[in-house]
Structure 1
Amino acid sequence: MLNSQLSLVEKLIEEGVIKTRSVIQAMKNIDRGFFVQDPSAYEDQPKQIGYRATISAPHMHGYALEWFKDHLVPGSKALDIGSGSGYLTLCMAEMMNYSGLVVGVEHIRELVNSSISSINQCKPQALIDRNVQIFEGDGRLGYPSLAPYKVIHVGAASEDIPEALVQQLDAGGRMVIPVGRRGEKQYIMLVDKDYEGKITVKKDFGVRYIPLCDKSYQVE
């Protein structure tokens, strides 16, 4: 059983999931143990965090950071929809060297509070300097008051690509979102917007995510 962040990162490197120096360093620096209250926190599998929500498996966090590696640079702005535990939210800020802004949107208030607590234990300065901000809200609407964003990560599956999120994607930006109707196959979609506003969508591999839904559906 993997028992440390370093052993987890070494496994992800060995399996070819993470390759880029900045991604590797970010995942070394942000310890998953702060965000998962489970003896098997470092195993490469999703974990329940309450309220029918999960923290994604570490390999999915690794893939996400690799997909965003050219966009998560100092001074950028990122949006993490369904920020849940706050782990990936903080990893993105780490890759930006805490120079810029990462906005997390989570519709379960208790998860907002617990994620802020976890981030405060791991990297309190990120909250003090407001490089990471977590808000309670409906992620399907994004967070328009702080848009546009160079990076938009969606941590739950949508039946389509929400137009509200496309509108909040900055020129030269990228959105990563799992797409698929309930009960059907889901795929990771890479959505890129060029500097003329043209949208390009690329289908990547198949996944299984909880649905991007309203709060009442999730906690019923």
Structure 2
Amino acid sequence: MPTPTPSLITVIVAFVKKSLYFSSRYVRQTYSRLTYPKQLSGINMAWTCSGNTNSALIENMWKNGLITDARVKEAFLKVDRAHYAPAMPYEDSPQPIGYSATISAPHMHASAVEHVLSYLLPSSTSPSPRILDVGSGSGYLTHVMAELVGEKGLVVGLEHIRQLKELGENNMAKSEQGRRFLESGKVRFRFGDGRKGWVEEPREGEQQEGMGWDVIHVGASAVEIHPELIEQLKAPGCMFIPVDDDKMGYNQHVWRIEKDGNGEVTKKKLFGVRYVPLTEAPKE
């Protein structure tokens, strides 16, 4: 058998690289089409949003329409993802953080914030928003939301794995602003079964009837839209929750649940996703 010449080897290598590129590109585009509907502006550009720095990542999401509100952009710029993601923090992709949990891709966190933004921000009807982050994991989104709720707002990260609760606290303590949030009590991490929600004692000056949540964000896929979570929503209030479409959890969609001022609840299916399951706290 004749020995391949250097020029032939170069051609073969180039062909293989090109084939791998188009194959990889096809897989990414196909997954993107399967995961998100076409009408969700900018979401198919998520694969191009990675950067070398935190600001580059956020700017890319802004340019590609994954972040559309300047206030959301500013909040994400204030929180360095390197404090929360163990490796490749500026890649727009999910990453494992241990204990069968993940930190979601940045574009998913951005989408969650934008879908509940009007309830996150202080308003005349809710000057001190109360936010529950179920399945807070790394603590990244907990921190981002804390940047949006104003001086009097409260964000509670709820975890069913004690080590992840501690991980969120430790990650937030890596930055000066994060430490201030923890020390002031503006951000708190709790241990419990997220399917049942959480009752946080009223802070100084709060009335007992104001203990519901303006926003509930659920960072894992539920088998149903748990009634306890809807009950704990304020009126008005909003929830962002991924829910299994089938018993096996092979298909999931994010739902946006709104409760109006009269307590009427509306549910809207947004887009398909892949999340780890929302489960009970392990018995100790």
TM-score higher than 0.5: yes
Shift of residue 22, structure 1, vs aligned partner: 0.9
Instruction: Pick from 143, 149, 173 the counterpart of residue 198 of structure 2.
Output: 143
- 5 Å-filtered alignment, 1:4-43, equals 4-38=53-87, 40-43=88-91
Which stretches in structure 2 are left out of the alignment for 5+ residues? 1-49, 123-127, 202-210
Shift of residue 2, structure 1, vs aligned partner: 2.0
- 5 Å-filtered alignment, 1:58-73, equals 58-73=106-121
Instruction: Pick from 164, 179, 187 the counterpart of residue 124 of structure 1.
Output: 179
* Aligned partner of residue 6 in structure 1, secondary structure: helix
Note the aligned Cα RMSD (angstroms): 1.4
* Aligned partner of residue 71 in structure 1, secondary structure: helix
- 5 Å-filtered alignment, 1:78-157, equals 78-122=131-175, 123-146=178-201, 147-157=211-221
* Aligned partner of residue 216 in structure 2, secondary structure: strand
Shift of residue 55, structure 1, vs aligned partner: 0.4
* Aligned partner of residue 143 in structure 1, secondary structure: coil
8 A contact 2:119–2:214 mirrored in 1: yes
Larger radius of gyration: 2
Per residue, is there more helix in 1 or in 2?
2
1:213 maps to: 279
* Aligned partner of residue 156 in structure 2, secondary structure: strand
Q: How many residues align?
A: 216
Partner Cα distance (1:148, 1:82) in 2: 18
* Aligned partner of residue 43 in structure 1, secondary structure: coil
Shift of residue 184, structure 1, vs aligned partner: 3.1
Paired AA for residue 166 in structure 2 = N
TM-score, with structure 2 as normaliser = 0.74
Paired AA for residue 129 in structure 1 = S
TM-score, with structure 1 as normaliser = 0.94
2:15 maps to: none
8 A contact 2:92–2:105 mirrored in 1: yes
Partner Cα distance (1:164, 1:35) in 2: 29
1:67-108 residue CA offsets vs partner (Å, 9 max, x unmatched): 111111231000000000000011111011342100110011
1:107-128 residue CA offsets vs partner (Å, 9 max, x unmatched): 1111111110111112210001
Paired AA for residue 201 in structure 1 = K
8 A contact 1:32–1:42 mirrored in 2: yes
More divergent stretch after superposition (45-54 vs 138-147) = 138-147
Which ranges of 4 or more aligned residues in structure 1 deviate by more than 4 Å? none
Partner Cα distance (1:6, 1:22) in 2: 15
1:201 maps to: 267
Partner Cα distance (2:250, 2:133) in 1: 24
Partner Cα distance (1:119, 1:99) in 2: 19
Shift of residue 183, structure 1, vs aligned partner: 3.3
Is 1:44 aligned with 2:131?
A: no
TM-aligned CA distance change 1:115 to 1:209, over 3 Å: same
Partner Cα distance (1:153, 1:120) in 2: 22
Greater relative contact order (Cα < 8 A, sep 6+): 1
* Aligned partner of residue 144 in structure 1, secondary structure: coil
